[in-house]
Chains A and B, each alone.
Chain A
Amino acid sequence: MANIIISQATEGGLTFYMPKKDLEVPVKSLEFNQPHKWGGALTLADGQRYYIDPLDTMPSLPKSLRAKRMD
């Protein structure tokens, strides 16, 4: 588990930021992106996959979250 921040990218879409690794990558896909379910598996532009526990509401971004590596 690691602390991450998901924020709105200026060119649209989401950005994934992991302070510990200085990783700042666009998010390619997010499993759940609905008003009542948000989160799940994340695929980053560089191919890494992370998992965040789904939330029941869409958070206001940027948001600090905990993420787990998937592979």
Chain B
Amino acid sequence: MAKLNKEEAQALIQEVLEVYPEKAKKDRAKHLAVNDTAEAKTCVTSNRKSLPGVMTIRGCAYAGSKGVVWGPIKDMIHISHGPVGCGQYSRAGRRNYYVGTTGVDSFGTMNFTSDFQEKDIVFGGDKKLSKLITEIEQLFPLNRGISVQSECPIGLIGDDIEAVSKASSKEIGKPVIPVRCEGFRGVSQSLGHHIANDAIRDHVFDREGGSEGIEPGQYDVAILGDYNIGGDAWSSRILLEEMGLRVVAQWSGDGTLAEMEQTPKVKLNLLHCYRSMNYISRHMEEKYGIPWVEYNFFGPTKIAESLRKIASYFDDSIKEGAEKVIAKYQAMCDEIIAKYRPRLEGKKVMLYVGGLRPRHVIGAYEDLGMEVVGTGYEFGHNDDYDRTRNDVGNATLIYDDVTGFEFEEFVKRVKPDLVGSGVKEKYIFQKMGVPFRQMHSWDYSGPYHGYDGFAIFAKDMDMTLNNPCWSKLTPPWKQRPEAEQKAVA
């Protein structure tokens, strides 16, 4: 279907909003918009409480802290403090890869929980927590520290996890970091990122007895906001190293406590996911004078742009290095584009993802000749939408905290050739016959960052879009007779 123009898109939004009661309609209208690059500001309202009764796709603050920021720090043990479900049902689902021996010196895919029962809710769980920490220390002596990730009940019953953490930290001689990321705080996982960032600021940077770290060098950089989904951070890291930089820390995919402690000594912070780690970047800029730069490693155009931007903070040897890297991979990219672009050219994509991908992956699609006709954030804020405006074209649908209903209706009407969103949306759209890619976990594929990632990205998109199964969705007895006759002839 041809792309909607601005009026049609506006009308579509109105039509979709029709089903809501008056008040809900008014509220949701503020979250939906049609992009207009001519305007000075986006007019989407974001980071507001979801409407009761609609199906939202958001997570909770605990998910933002334990799942996103803290969870991937592999050499620490992250206790899901509270009932067992929050941690168990999200265990190992994010595919942040790491190297290490799980259960010995790395704990990324394991679930540690205080497993609250009724009596803990009634009498408080502080004793249990302190016992749990002692047990962890006995069973997993190679852990480098522990973080206590509060689930909802902890805040509700008023447990004092700070006091327990302090005492336990003394007992085991390692950092025990209390994180007040109860799920009910804030409107989405976004506040969890902020709380987690603040906990790092207060308990990792300012910790007495922190490690000395390695000798700082003049080309030290840290990768912030890359969670190594399917190996993303690794395929980014090699490019930076090839151009002559030294990556001393990865936050937090495949990261360690020591890397976090080393970060205040770097020369430049490289920020991939702005939403989840801008807080700590701003803090480091203010306190340690470390500049930060946002970059985007999806698709060759953006990669080249980002490599040059990063290099501009360093001397000529790095700038030359960046050019060398870009030149080196040029041939490879040309080959990928020559192969896949003819198969994907002109296809339309609708996205609905988390904190950075709704805008970051657009470049990669464009490199393949595809067009993004709708995009939105689960938990983006104003500043994210401001950054998105220039990445998408006019008349692109923008939807904040989209509800299940709206998303389905938009897809039915816009008829994109591909939808990129999360696992909760996947099967709905596949059953509707729309090719779908999970853009949170890369659909069990990846990495997608960097030049190597682009090759995989292009292959995956082609594999999904041009899969023969999509033409087989109508059973033979429901096929229209003309089609049948054609088949016979």
Q: Residues of A at under 8 Å CB distance from B? A: 5, 7, 17, 19, 21-24, 46, 60, 62-64
Contact = CB atoms under 8 A, between A and B. Distances in A.
B386 A24 contact: yes
A63 B383 contact: no
Nearest to B285: A62
A60 B291 CA distance: 13
B383 A24 contact: yes
Nearest to A61: B286
B470 interface: no
Given A5-B286, A46-B41, A62-B286, A23 B382 contact: yes
19 contacts: A5-B282, A5-B286, A7-B282, A7-B285, A17-B282, A19-B279, A22-B47, A22-B381, A22-B382, A22-B383, A24-B382, A24-B383, A24-B386, A46-B40, A46-B41, A60-B289, A62-B285, A63-B286, A64-B286
B488 to A, nearest CB: 61
A62 B282 CA distance: 8
A21 to B, nearest CB: 7
Contacts of A62: 282, 285-286
Interface residues on B, range: 10 to 19
A31 B282 CA distance: 25
A55 to B, nearest CB: 15
A17 B46 CA distance: 17
Interface of B: 40-41, 46-47, 279, 282, 285-286, 289, 381-383, 386
Contacts of B383: 22-24
Interface centre among A5, A19, A22, A60 (most CB of B within 10 A): A22
A68 to B, nearest CB: 21
Nearest to B47: A22
Contacts of B279: 19
Contacts of A5: 282, 286
Given A24-B383, A62-B282, 20 more contacts: A5-B282, A5-B286, A7-B282, A7-B285, A17-B282, A19-B279, A21-B382, A22-B46, A22-B47, A22-B381, A22-B383, A23-B382, A24-B382, A24-B386, A46-B40, A46-B41, A60-B289, A62-B285, A63-B286, A64-B286
A71 to B, nearest CB: 19
Nearest to B46: A22
Give me the 10 closest cross-chain CB pairs, A-B, nearest first: A22-B381, A22-B382, A24-B383, A62-B286, A22-B383, A62-B285, A5-B282, A64-B286, A22-B47, A23-B382
A37 B47 CA distance: 37
Contacts of B286: 5, 62-64
Nearest to B286: A62
A63 B286 CA distance: 6
A46 B43 CA distance: 13
A22 B383 CA distance: 6
A44 to B, nearest CB: 12
A46 to B, nearest CB: 7
A11 to B, nearest CB: 13
A19 B382 CA distance: 10
B321 to A, nearest CB: 22
Contacts of B382: 21-24
Interface centre among B40, B46, B279, B383 (most CB of A within 10 A): B383
A23 B383 CA distance: 7
Nearest to B279: A19
Interface centre among A5, A46, A62 (most CB of B within 10 A): A62
Contacts of A24: 382-383, 386
Contacts of A17: 282
A19 B46 CA distance: 14
Contacts of B47: 22
Nearest to B387: A24
A56 B180 CA distance: 38
